[in-house]
Chain A
Amino acid sequence: DIQMTQSPSSLSASVGDRVTITCRASQSIRSYLNWYQQKPGEAPKLLVYAASNLQTGVPSRFGGSESGTDFTLTISGLQPEDFATYYCQQTNTIPFTFGPGTKVDI
């Protein structure tokens, strides 16, 4: 199975900060990497698909990039509604594995 790691596991930030979350795959997943946001008590929400494509309706302050097996989610100008947990997911190979999550709080 492909293992996904995320760093950091949590971070504290302030409104307006630039935040970067990294996800690493244990082997090549091409660009089949998605990012989800989850708030407490809610279902996950798709933010970025195929490494760098912003889902319709997601604010442009979110962005994704890739370099080999390393993937990055960047939030440029953190907003109050962005405090949540973020998960990466690979869909190159079944089982579709998720990263352990990165909690972003104040």
Chain B
Amino acid sequence: EVQLLESGGELIQAGGSLRLSCAVSGFIFNNYAMNWVRQAPGKGLEWVSAISGSGDDTYYADSVKGRFTVSRDNSKNMLYLQMNTLRADDTAVYYCARQVVRYFEDWGRGTLVTVSS
């Protein structure tokens, strides 16, 4: 059974840094690209970042480029999102999602990041 479990979300002041983690199991981790998607309270879904299976290729939404860094440790089946210079509009539930071909087949339950200004 595929499982994704995010952690690391918390209340943090604007300008601060936070690292989110996503622990995965149930599939061969390095065979799949992974994504981060966020959802601000009461709002829609926003794609944030993607990373290839090897970790060699990374992609970002313009809204987080230069502030967020996605990485993975394939030996530990872990996905990460390092978030720096956090802003109030980064407040959201952050989901990790497994990408199969061109769709997001599996999602974690999310972790809440609240940035106070």
On A, residues with C-beta under 8 Å from B are 1, 32, 34, 36, 38, 42-46, 49-50, 55, 87, 89, 91-92, 94-101
8 Å CB contacts to A: which residues of B37-51?
37, 44-47, 50
- Find chain A residues with CB under 8 A from B46 CB: 98
A42 CA to B104 CA, complexed, in Å: 15
Size range of the interface on B?
Answer: 20 to 34
Nearest CB on B from A90, distance (A): 9
Nearest CB on A from B75, distance (A): 26
Nearest CB on B from A25, distance (A): 14
- 17 more contacts with CB within 8 A, not counting A42-B109, A89-B104, A98-B45, are A43-B107, A43-B109, A44-B104, A49-B102, A50-B102, A55-B105, A87-B45, A89-B45, A89-B103, A91-B102, A94-B50, A95-B59, A95-B61, A96-B35, A97-B47, A98-B44, A99-B44
- Find chain B residues with CB under 8 A from A32 CB: 102
A32 CA to B95 CA, complexed, in Å: 21
Q: Pick 9 A–B contacts, CB within 8 A, sort by A.
A: A44-B107, A46-B105, A49-B103, A49-B105, A91-B103, A95-B47, A95-B61, A98-B46, A99-B44
